[in-house]
């Protein structure tokens, strides 16, 4: 059996999942009468809605007499750790680059990981059917990036394929009139350029999980490539644990990947990508071996979290009205279940009703919150905070590389905002009517920045950021919101009359008819202090007819916040209450008088 193992890597939204779709369709993996959606590899509802890949997925494609295993990797920086581990599962990569946008921060990150793992690359310039493409410049950018990242001669000699994954066309020439409805050039490039797996099936077994999956029936599943030897379902094997100890277990189930299905198989040999179950706490980086022939592979590094937030039981007056799962026990069970498949997550009990949850970034944690909300959970979450480490006796915080493209007339405001957030400019380049900026910014300074950035650039700006390194902790108070909020001092339904009277005090987050409670945030103040307001006040009715005829109150549209924006927006004395029907912003101290006393104490310090 001839095998090729390849990962598709790219910046977020450059078309990886759409390309895998076309490879599956055109390889004949789907039967003619088989129903399948677009972007079949995005199995999670949130992945489909947002058009992003959250979890790495493996698929097997039959082409001629080859089995080509393709791993669709996440493009977002928060899931970069998966990309790093996937490099140990494959022998080559397809680097996908947008024909207009060119190389972006994540392109650099994922390519660096592939080159470090000494993998052979194939470059696919995607979306060639779009307007304003820059084929020659983009090829030059890719070549410059390879040289900059220290690629060897073999890696720099990469084949280039021009494609439109959406239209299902490819060509080997930059002359777009030669595009044909076929994926054969990509399949042929994989066969001719990507080496076959190195392992020998005759040698003793070595298998190392690089990813984890979870199934309610069989528990935790370790997914990886068999480095050497053969593995069979039902056989006893040894696992060399991360601490060096050895644990024997029986392979309960063995899974192979064909198309988008995970299928049970009886045996597999060196070079195949499989999932195995049988050891309830199998972990990434451990080595499964033949009994009596234990020899560990080098341990895979698991990326450390950089951001943490507190998940707690909902304590608002509306607790239990919208969700079914709201007890401490249920929340803890759900967080423990998430740990079974997410090796980048850390959960630590803070007190009886709250947990400190650490992850790779805001998107990583907000997707967990969104999944829990959709499953019927109610909870309250705090503002994300960066994790400060002590390295060589010095306190250090995470820094990120930020790439921005914004209309040139808005760049001044963006530069000013980033300067206030301790950002350091690396480069500034004009580009058509836009300007490209490259910055190094403390992660703390980026909390809440994306929302502000979209307002500063009138929604036309593009921002991407990826973790760079830990650096010196700055004393500046960055990442805190400058403006205060409008906080309800009453319980009841918001009225148009009350909201109309408050409009000159700030921007509203709610509309008439919204149920509010004391301590709930109903809007943003236009001053830097919080303001307690009455949002439920109704007009006094009298028998006296008004001299001037009453006009219907016409209100401005309230500001719409997404969950990520809400987490970005809140300050340290505030929480986001999350329920299956949505979310609310609130103060930690709901009582108006108690909160005023607490604020007075802080000012007195």
CATH number of the domain residue 94 falls in: 3.40.50.300
- Do residue 165 and residue 275 come from a single domain? no
> What CATH number should be reported for the domain holding residue 454?
3.30.70.240
pLDDT tier at 37, thresholds 50, 70, 90: very low
Higher pLDDT, 11 or 588: 588
Burial of 302 (0-12, 13-18, 19+ CB in 10 A): middle
Mean pLDDT, residues 505-532: 93
Percentage of residues in the chain having pLDDT higher than 90: 42
Question: Is 198 among the domain residues?
Answer: no
**Is 294 inside any structural domain?**
no
Average pLDDT over residues 197-223: 88
State residue 101's pLDDT score. 86
Q: Decide if pLDDT at 288 tops 80.
A: yes
Q: Of 249, 266, 289, which residue constitutes the final position of a domain?
A: 289
Identify the pLDDT of residue 31. Answer: 44
Domain residue limits at 372: 304-388+475-605
Whether residues 358 and 433 fall in one domain: no
Residue that is last in its domain, among 472, 491, 507 = 472
Q: For the ranges 116-125, 347-356, 361-370, which has the lowest average pLDDT?
A: 361-370
Are 155 and 181 members of one domain?
yes
CATH code where residue 267 lies: 2.40.30.10
- In a shared domain, residues 179 and 235: no
Asked if 276 and 356 sit in the same domain, the reply is: no
Round to whole Å and give the CA distance between 121 and 154: 9
Instruction: Note whether 464 and 480 are same-domain residues.
Output: no
Residue 32 clears pLDDT 70, i.e. is over it? no
Task: Provide φ and ψ at 97, rounded to 5°.
Answer: -130, 135
Alpha carbon 331 to its chain's center: 22
Q: Which of 193, 222, 239 is the last residue of a domain?
A: 193
> Quick one: 266 and 365 in the same domain?
no
Region 477-481: what's the mean pLDDT? 71
- Model confidence at 372, pLDDT cuts 50, 70, 90, reads very high
Confidence of residue 544 (pLDDT cuts 50, 70, 90): low
What's the confidence (pLDDT) of residue 440?
93
Gyration radius from the chain CA atoms: 27
What per-residue confidence (pLDDT) applies to 6? Answer: 93
Considering the domain architecture, whether residues 63 and 100 belong to the same structural domain is answered as yes
pLDDT score recorded for residue 47: 47
CATH of the domain at 353: 3.30.70.870
Contact 342/539 with Cβ under 8 angstroms? no
In this structure, are 71 and 178 located in the same domain? yes
Contact, 585 vs 524, CB < 8 A?
Answer: no
Does residue 298 sit within a domain?
no
Please state the domain count of the chain: 4
pLDDT (average), residues 518-532 = 93
Is 231 a domain residue? Answer: yes
Residue 226 makes CB contacts below 8 A (sequence gap 6+) with: 199, 205, 206, 207, 268, 269, 270, 271, 272, 274
Q: Which two tokens stand for residue 338?
A: 């998430």
pLDDT above 60 (res 312): yes
CA dihedral 414, 417, 422, 426 (to 10 degrees): 10
Residues 331 and 345 in one domain: yes
User: Is 181 found in the same domain as 87?
Assistant: yes
* Higher-confidence position of 193 and 464: 193
In a domain, 332, yes or no: yes
Q: What DSSP element (H or E) covers 30?
A: none
- pLDDT for the residue numbered 401: 86
Distances (CA, A) of 229 to 212, 226, 381: 21, 7, 47
Residues 223 and 257 in one domain: yes
- Residues 468-490: what's their mean pLDDT? 83
Q: Specify the DSSP element, H or E, that contains 262.
A: strand 261-264
């Amino acid at each position: 059996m001839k095998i090729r193992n390849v990962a598709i890597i790219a910046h977020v939204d450059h078309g990886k999942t759409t390309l895998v779709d076309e490879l599956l369709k055109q390889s004949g993996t789907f039967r003619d009468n088989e129903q399948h959606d677009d972007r079949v590899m995005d199995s999670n509802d949130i992945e489909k809605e947002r058009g992003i890949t959250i979890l790495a997925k493996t698929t097997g494609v039959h082409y001629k007499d080859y089995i080509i295993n393709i791993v669709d990797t996440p493009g977002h920086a928060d899931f970069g750790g998966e990309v790093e581990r996937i490099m140990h599962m494959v022998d080559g990569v397809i680097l996908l680059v947008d024909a207009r946008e060119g190389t972006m921060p994540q392109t650099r990150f994922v390519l660096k990981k592939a080159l470090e793992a000494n993998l052979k690359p194939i470059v696919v310039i995607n979306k060639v059917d779009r307007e304003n493409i820059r084929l020659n410049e983009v090829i030059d950018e890719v070549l410059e990036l390879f040289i900059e990242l220290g690629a060897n001669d073999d890696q720099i000699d990469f084949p280039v394929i021009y494609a439109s994954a959406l239209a299902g066309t490819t060509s080997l020439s930059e002359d777009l009139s030669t595009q044909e409805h076929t994926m054969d050039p990509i399949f042929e490039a994989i066969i001719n350029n990507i080496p076959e797996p190195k392992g020998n099936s005759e040698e003793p077994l070595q298998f190392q999980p690089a990813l984890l999956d979870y199934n309610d029936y069989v528990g935790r599943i370790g997914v990886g490539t068999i480095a050497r030897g053969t593995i069979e379902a039902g056989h006893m094997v040894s696992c060399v644990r991360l601490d060096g100890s050895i644990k024997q277990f029986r392979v309960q189930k063995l899974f192979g990947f064909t198309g988008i299905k995970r299928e049970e198989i009886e045996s597999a040999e060196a070079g195949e990508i499989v999932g195995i179950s049988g050891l309830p706490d199998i972990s990434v980086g451990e080595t499964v071996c033949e009994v009596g022939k234990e020899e560990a592979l080098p341990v895979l590094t698991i990326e450390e979290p950089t951001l943490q937030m507190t998940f707690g039981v909902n304590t608002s007056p509306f607790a239990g009205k919208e969700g079914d799962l709201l007890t401490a026990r249920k929340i803890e069970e759900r967080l423990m279940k998430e740990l079974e498949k997410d090796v980048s997550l850390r959960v630590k009990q803070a007190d009886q009703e709250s947990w400190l949850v650490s992850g790779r970034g805001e998107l990583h944690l907000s997707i967990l919150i969104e999944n829990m909300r959709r499953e019927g959970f109610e909870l309250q979450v705090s503002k994300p905070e960066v994790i400060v480490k002590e390295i060589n006796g010095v306190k250090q915080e995470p820094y990120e590389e930020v790439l921005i493209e914004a209309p040139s007339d808005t760049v001044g405001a963006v530069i000013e905002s980033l300067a206030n957030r301790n950002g350091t400019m690396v480069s500034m380049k004009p580009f058509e009517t836009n300007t490209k900026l490259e910055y190094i910014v403390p992660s703390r300074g980026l909390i809440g920045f994306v929302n502000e950035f979209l307002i500063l650039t009138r929604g036309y700006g593009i921002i991407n950021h990826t973790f760079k390194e830990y650096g010196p902790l700055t004393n500046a108070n960055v990442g805190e919101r400058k403006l205060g909020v409008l906080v309800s001092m009453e319980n009841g339904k918001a009225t148009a009359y009350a909201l109309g009277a408050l409009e000159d005090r700030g921007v509203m987050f709610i509309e008439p008819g919204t149920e509010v409670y004391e301590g709930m945030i109903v809007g943003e103040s236009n001053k830097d202090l919080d303001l307690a307001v009455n949002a439920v006040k109704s007009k006094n009715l009298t028998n006296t007819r008004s001299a001037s005829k009453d006009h219907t109150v016409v209100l401005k549209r309230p500001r719409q916040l997404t969950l990520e924006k809400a987490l970005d927006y809140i300050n340290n004395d505030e929480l986001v209450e999350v329920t299956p029907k949505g979310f609310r912003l609130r103060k930690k101290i709901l009582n108006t008088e108690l909160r005023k006393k607490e604020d007075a104490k802080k000012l007195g310090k």
